[in-house]
């Protein structure tokens, strides 16, 4: 990998990948660990926190609202909070950077506190829809002003006491669910959220860990407000979404054998690995165990011949963030992979369906773009033609996906800007280098 200009990178074959590595702490869990620790009375310790820019945005926002958050020399974080209901008025706008999770969850948190906060973000985040959380939060009494199209900048003026509600969600979304549960923490009585389909349950697991009264009854999750959270020692597992890029790299590059240690295997986060196994990937979850209420394992992935599959729409909920790298795996499979039900990918950090269709075509993959999915015709394991330059569109997952494709291509693949990767996996290139160097040793 070389850099011909700042932030522009090229990726080309350098042999197989071998060795054991770690990936950053799970982003979803890291956001919640900071927020819940800041709402607990006392000092919490967090190990394995994600070092990406998105989680840094959450930490900065919680500091601005009164929490003390510090990183120790051992890399662990301590967070001192004063309890639910104790948030202070921020003196300036809360800059969410590129983090949609930070924005939506914190809008929910602020909505039931007697403060007023302005949320801003970068160009990519400012294009993403926020009405999905603004509309139900208005029902509890919060005043929320968004920019045209329900986007950032947005102003949230919380209400105390907020009105306990039963929220029946129209679209399955862990972010919306979590925002409503966070609002319920400082709302008297019981807040209920009814999901149309199950979504990742990191909020429920961690709220229970911190001592909140929360229960699930079928599709309904209920939380009792005016909660008293207790400080905890949280160990954050490796991010399965970050591990996905290395898993696909090992799957498509001949001779590879990679172990990714301490990865979260929450059942609502393993959809990508289930899909890869259905395609014939050699993936094993070794040494399964539990850390801080979350299931964890070491992922061992070896090169294997992949085959195309038809993924049903219901697969989307458990792997929506991993579809860009799934499309790369499909590009190396034998036969055709078909996907539908992915309209949500059009309102992520970029229009990921359009970005992947355009990029795959540019490196020699036959691909068809539909309204809510892609059809990808694979190479049967042969290297892609490669060449050309990919526009990452300010999207970390697009950038990393095409970087992986370059590891098994006839001509190097250039990525116009790898800087968005800082939001989730700052050591991405260094981690790849370490696996490639071990293979060459």
pLDDT at 186: 98
Same domain, 34 and 10: no
Distance CA 33, CA 45 (A): 9
Same domain, 269 and 154: no
Same domain, 207 and 262: no
Distance CA 9, CA 2 (A): 6
pLDDT at 437: 85
pLDDT at 7: 87
Q: Are strands 116-120 and 94-95 parallel, antiparallel or unpaired?
A: parallel
Same domain, 354 and 268: yes
Q: Give residue for tokens 């102003």.
A: 155
Residue 38: φ, ψ to 5°? -70, -20
Question: Distance from first CA to last CA of the chain, Å, rounded?
Answer: 17
Same domain, 177 and 269: no
Q: Which of 235, 253, 277 is the last residue of a domain?
A: 235
Q: Give residue for tokens 């310790």.
A: 45
- Closest to 23 in 3D by CA, of 320, 327, 426: 426
Percent of the chain that is helix, strand, coil (3-state, to 5):
35, 30, 35
Distance CA 86, CA 434 (A): 45
SS3 at position 3: strand
Contacts of 68-75 with C-beta under 8 Å, sequence gap 24+, read: 69/34, 69/38, 75/47
SS3 at position 245: helix
Residue 78: φ, ψ to 5°? -115, 140
Positive or negative torsion for Cα 60, 185, 200, 46: positive
Beta-carbon neighbour count of residue 288 at 10 Å?
Answer: 10
Q: Which residues are catalytic?
A: 321
- To the question of whether residue 100 is assigned a binding role by annotation, the answer is yes
Q: In Å, how far are 124, 311, 344 from 316, measured between CA atoms?
A: 22, 9, 9
Q: Which of 235, 250, 272 is the last residue of a domain?
A: 235
Q: Which of 197, 212, 235 is the last residue of a domain?
A: 235
Same domain, 228 and 242: no
Dump pLDDT digits (tens) for 239-285: 999 999 999 999 999 999 999 999 999 999 999 999 999 999 999 99
Distance CA 57, CA 420 (A): 14
pLDDT at 377: 98
Positive or negative torsion for Cα 124, 126, 132, 136: positive
Distance CA 408, CA 385 (A): 9
- To the question of whether residue 122 is assigned a binding role by annotation, the answer is no
Exposed e or buried b per residue across 19-34, where buried means at least 16 C-beta atoms within 10 angstroms of its C-beta? bebbbbbbbbbbbbbb
Q: Which two tokens stand for residue 147?
A: 């920019």
Same domain, 70 and 18: no
- To the question of whether residue 391 is assigned a binding role by annotation, the answer is no
Same domain, 317 and 416: yes
Q: Which two tokens stand for residue 414?
A: 């250039």
Residues 6 or more apart from 73 whose CB is under 8 A from it?
none
Beta-carbon neighbour count of residue 159 at 10 Å?
Answer: 19
Same domain, 21 and 80: no
Distance CA 124, CA 400 (A): 17
Residues in the chain: 441
Residues (pLDDT < 50) of the chain are 1-6
Distance CA 184, CA 222 (A): 9
pLDDT at 440: 82
Q: Which two tokens stand for residue 353?
A: 């369906």
pLDDT at 439: 83
- To the question of whether residue 175 is assigned a binding role by annotation, the answer is yes
Dump pLDDT digits (tens) for 317-345: 899 999 999 999 999 999 999 999 999 99
Give me the CATH number covering residue 112.
3.65.10.10
pLDDT at 4: 37
Distance CA 360, CA 363 (A): 5
pLDDT at 2: 39
Same domain, 207 and 307: no
- To the question of whether residue 18 is assigned a binding role by annotation, the answer is no
- Closest to 271 in 3D by CA, of 214, 210, 339: 339
SS3 at position 282: strand
- To the question of whether residue 352 is assigned a binding role by annotation, the answer is yes
**95 touches 237 (CB < 8 A):** no
- Closest to 399 in 3D by CA, of 388, 383, 414: 414
- Closest to 16 in 3D by CA, of 299, 282, 276, 303: 303
Q: Which two tokens stand for residue 152?
A: 């950032």
Same domain, 271 and 228: no
- To the question of whether residue 16 is assigned a binding role by annotation, the answer is no
- Closest to 137 in 3D by CA, of 168, 108, 171: 108
Same domain, 317 and 431: yes
Domain containing residue 59:
28-235
- In the chain, how many domains are there? 2
């Amino acid at each position: 990998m070389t850099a011909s200009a700042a932030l522009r990178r090229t990726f080309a074959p350098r042999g197989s990948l071998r060795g054991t590595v770690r990936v950053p702490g799970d982003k979803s869990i890291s956001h919640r660990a900071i927020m819940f620790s800041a709402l607990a009375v006392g000092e919490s310790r967090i190990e394995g926190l994600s070092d990406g820019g998105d989680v840094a945005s959450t930490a900065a926002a919680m500091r601005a609202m009164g929490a003390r958050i510090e990183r120790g020399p051992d890399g662990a974080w301590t967070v001192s909070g004063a309890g639910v209901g104790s948030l202070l008025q921020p003196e300036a706008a809360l800059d969410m950077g590129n983090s949609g999770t930070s924005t939506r969850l914190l809008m929910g948190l602020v909505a039931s506190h007697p403060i007023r906060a302005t949320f801003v973000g970068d160009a990519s985040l400012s294009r993403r829809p926020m009405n999905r959380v603004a509309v139900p939060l208005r029902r509890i009494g919060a005043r929320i002003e968004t920019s045209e199209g329900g986007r950032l900048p947005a102003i949230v003026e919380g209400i105390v006491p907020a009105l306990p509600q039963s929220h029946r969600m129209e679209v399955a979304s862990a972010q919306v669910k979590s925002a409503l549960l966070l609002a319920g923490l400082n709302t008297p009585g019981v807040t209920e959220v009814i999901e149309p389909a199950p979504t990742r349950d990191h909020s429920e697991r961690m709220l229970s860990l911190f001592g909140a009264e929360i229960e699930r009854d079928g599709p309904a999750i209920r939380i009792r407000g005016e909660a008293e959270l207790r400080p905890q020692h949280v160990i954050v597992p490796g991010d399965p979404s970050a591990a996905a890029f290395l898993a696909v790299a090992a799957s498509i590059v001949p001779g590879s054998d990679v172990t990714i240690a301490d990865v979260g295997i929450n059942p609502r986060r393993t959809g990508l690995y289930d899909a890869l196994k259905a395609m014939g990937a050699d993936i094993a979850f070794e040494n399964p165990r539990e850390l801080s209420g979350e299931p964890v394992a070491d992922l061992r992935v070896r090169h294997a011949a992949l085959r195309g599959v038809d993924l049903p729409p219901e697969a989307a909920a458990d792997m929506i963030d991993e579809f860009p790298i799934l499309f790369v795996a499909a590009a190396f499979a034998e036969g055709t992979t078909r996907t539908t039900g992915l309209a949500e990918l059009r309102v992520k950090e970029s229009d990921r369906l359009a970005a992947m269709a355009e990029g795959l075509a540019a490196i020699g993959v036959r691909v068809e773009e539909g309204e809510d999915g892609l059809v990808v015709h694979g190479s049967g394991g042969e290297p892609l033609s490669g060449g050309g330059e990919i526009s990452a569109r300010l999207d970390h997952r697009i950038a990393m996906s095409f970087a992986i494709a370059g590891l098994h291509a006839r001509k190097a693949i250039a990525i116009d800007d790898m800087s968005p990767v800082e939001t989730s996996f700052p050591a991405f290139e260094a981690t790849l280098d370490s696996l490639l160097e071990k293979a060459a040793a």
